[in-house]
Structure 1
Amino acid sequence: MVGHAMLSRQYRLKTGFNELLLTNLQSLPNGIYFIKASDGASYRNGKLVIHHN
């Protein structure tokens, strides 16, 4: 797959479990996006599907 970063954000995390709410994504076109989250020591990957009506 070939791609590039569409959006980059930084959040301050607390110790323990965290939940991130992604907002203001209207500028991204419909599609499937891969998300990578890191705390500097470990990484989590996920998939985001955007479908604007």
Structure 2
Amino acid sequence: MLDGLEVVPRARCSYRSGHFEEMDLGAVLTRRPRASTSPPTAIPPGGPQP
């Protein structure tokens, strides 16, 4: 399903005492895409809430 599509590595982040990965928005915008998708990710316990 991803054949021919570029996959941008995730950015590693720290928040309080937790570490997690998220979409690297800067890397995505640098590529100037016409469209972009991001799979849903779990929020770590005690992490930021949407």
TM-score for the superposition, normalised by structure 1: 0.33
TM-score for the superposition, normalised by structure 2: 0.33
* Richer in helix (by share): 2
